[in-house]
């Protein structure tokens, strides 16, 4: 396979076609508009159909209808538009209909701004519509991984008959990187299924429904869905551990674009002798709790954890749950579309490790290891004033 240079949003659209997507229903909103712009040209070339809905509410219910007749379909939007789809996603999950939803996150709350953010973590992972439903949520950190996870999203949607969200921020949607695609043309449709409404000639009737007026019947349906979510949590956790080749004193936890920035910062501070690693959840739901806890357990007794997010503190709650009180879990984040630089993250790392080691507390030069440069940016200890 040869590589091509593509913008993230367009690569997501092409990956959906290679995964077998037949119909797209959506509505334009920055910074994801290139997804429908790309698909309106490409889907008809592959025998598919594109429909621009009158709103995000209409789009998700069009997906509901197409999924109900066994069509591989999807929609895409950005944060406020995803909010409008909440009711439809609850219906899709309740009726166990497979589909894929792309969320290219922007800054909020409200209309917010069009710059990248990660402030939809709660929305994506907590089932932002009504009822006890869950989405499978995948978080790419590069354009190539966005392609790979898009293909996986359709596979998981079919396997578990559940909506799957590919959750990326505006930076991944807008950046251009070289990517490889699996296969050519449009991929395979859903296999022979038992849920699609195709006419009942020669078989028993099928009903797509989420209304259960008898409480006992609705209870049993929720128990059935919960058993499926438990299987997903058991079998579909995905994560990455970076620079954990030796004992480390600080574990960063970040996802998506922020994880890439953290990797650069870690490479920088390791040259100074600071021992830092990164844990990156690839599935935001199910959150890879056991792997995150194992990464914490690999640290020394005094090891600390820092989540780095482009929000005001959302994933940090899942990380603290994984820690179960065994570690100090701190948070560093930005909002409004401000993306921290590797230098800013490196500065946060130095602050936490220097305080942990007693540097900057009046005995920084005595406690500092041989050959390690002063951790303070101007080369002067902020406590004792010595250079």
Q: Could you name the CATH architecture of 4-235?
A: 3-Layer(aba) Sandwich (3.40)
Per-residue pLDDT, averaged over 246-267, amounts to 97
Q: Which CATH entry fits the domain spanning 240-356: 3.30.300.350, 3.30.70.890, 3.40.50.80, 3.40.50.920?
A: 3.40.50.920
Assign 3-class secondary structure to the chain: CCCEEEEHHHHHHHHHHHCCCCEEEECCCCCCCHHHHHHHHHHHHCCCEEEECCCHHHHHHHHHHHHHCCCCEEEEECHHHHHHCHHHHHHHHHCCCCEEEEEEEECCCCCCCCCECCCCHHHHHCCCCCCCCCCEEECCCCHHHHHHHHHHHHHHHHHHCCEEEEEEEHHHHHCEEEECCCCCCCCCCCCCCCCCCCCCCCCCCCCCCCCCCCHHHHHHHHHHHHHHHHHHHHHCCCEEEECCCCCCCEEEECCHHHHHHHHHHHHHHHCCCCCEEEEEECEEECCCHHHHHHHHHCCCCCCEEEEEECCCCCHHHHHHHHHCCCCCEEEEECCCCCCCCHHHHHHHHHHHHHHHCCCCCCCHHHHCCCCCCCCCCCCCCCCCCCC
Model confidence at 385: pLDDT above 70: no
Q: Look over the chain and give the mean of its residue pLDDT values, rounded to a whole number.
A: 92
Instruction: Say whether pLDDT at 347 is over 80.
Output: yes
In this predicted structure, what is the pLDDT of residue 201?
A: 85
Is residue 364 pLDDT above 70, yes or no? no
- Per-residue pLDDT, averaged over 374-384, amounts to 55
- pLDDT tens digits along 118-161: 999 999 999 889 999 999 999 999 999 999 999 999 999 999 99
Residue 360 pLDDT: 41
Give residue 37's pLDDT: 97
Instruction: Give the pLDDT of residue 91.
Output: 97
Mean pLDDT across the stretch 21-39? 97
- Mean pLDDT throughout 371-384? 54
Residue of 100 and 374 predicted with greater confidence: 100
Question: What was the pLDDT predicted at 365?
Answer: 45
The percent of residues in the chain predicted with pLDDT above 70, rounded, is 91
Q: Is the pLDDT of residue 181 over 80?
A: yes
The yes-or-no verdict on residue 363 having pLDDT over 50 is no
Mean pLDDT of 49-55: 98
Mean pLDDT, residues 107-113: 96
Predicted local distance difference test score (pLDDT) of residue 193: 78
Better pLDDT: 187 or 356: 187
Model confidence pLDDT, tens digit, residues 267-292: 999 999 999 999 999 999 999 999 99
User: Do the beta carbons of residue 147 and residue 38 sit within 8 Å?
Assistant: no
Pick from 217-231, 338-352, 369-383: least confident: 369-383
Say if 4-235 and 240-356 have the same CATH topology.
yes
Average pLDDT over residues 179-208: 89
Domains of the chain, by residue range, sit at 4-235, 240-356
């Amino acid at each position: 396979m040869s590589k091509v240079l593509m913008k993230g949003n367009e690569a997501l659209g092409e990956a959906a076609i290679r995964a077998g997507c037949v119909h797209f229903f959506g509505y334009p909103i920055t910074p994801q508009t290139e997804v429908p712009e790309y698909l309106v040209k490409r889907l008809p070339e592959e025998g598919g159909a594109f429909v621009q809905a009158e709103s995000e509410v209409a789009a998700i219910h069009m997906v509901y209808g197409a999924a109900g007749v066994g069509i591989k379909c999807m929609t895409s939007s950005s944060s406020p538009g995803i909010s409008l789809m909440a009711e439809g996603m609850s219906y899709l999950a309740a009726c166990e209909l497979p589909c894929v939803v792309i969320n290219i996150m922007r800054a909020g709350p409200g209309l917010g701004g069009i710059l990248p953010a990660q402030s939809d973590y709660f929305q994506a992972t907590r089932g932002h519509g009504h009822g006890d439903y869950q989405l499978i949520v995948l978080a790419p950190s590069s354009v190539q991984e966005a392609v790979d996870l898009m293909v996986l999203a359709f596979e998981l949607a079919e396997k578990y008959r559940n909506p799957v969200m590919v959750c990326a921020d505006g930076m991944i949607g807008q950046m251009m990187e070289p990517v490889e695609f699996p296969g050519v043309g449009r991929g395979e449709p859903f296999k022979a299924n038992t849920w699609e409404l195709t006419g009942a000639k020669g078989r028993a009737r099928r009903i797509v429904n989420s209304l259960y007026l008898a409480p006992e019947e609705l209870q049993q349906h929720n128990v059935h869905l919960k058993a499926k979510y438990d299987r997903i949590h058991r079998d579909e956790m995905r994560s990455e551990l970076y620079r954990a080749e030796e004992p480390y004193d600080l574990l960063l936890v970040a996802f998506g674009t922020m994880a890439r920035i953290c990797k650069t910062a870690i490479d920088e501070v390791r040259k100074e002798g600071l021992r830092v690693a990164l844990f990156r959840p690839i599935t935001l739901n199910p959150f890879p709790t056991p792997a995150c806890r194992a990464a914490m357990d690999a640290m020394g007794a005094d090891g600390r954890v820092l989540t780095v997010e482009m929000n005001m503190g959302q994933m940090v709650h899942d990380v603290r749950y994984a820690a179960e009180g065994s570690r100090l879990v701190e948070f560093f984040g930005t909002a409004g579309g401000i993306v921290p630089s590797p230098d800013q993250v490196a500065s946060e790392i130095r602050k936490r490790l220097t305080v942990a080691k007693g540097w900057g507390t009046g005995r920084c030069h005595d406690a500092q290891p041989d050959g390690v440069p002063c951790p303070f940016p101007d080369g002067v200890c902020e406590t004792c004033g010595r250079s």
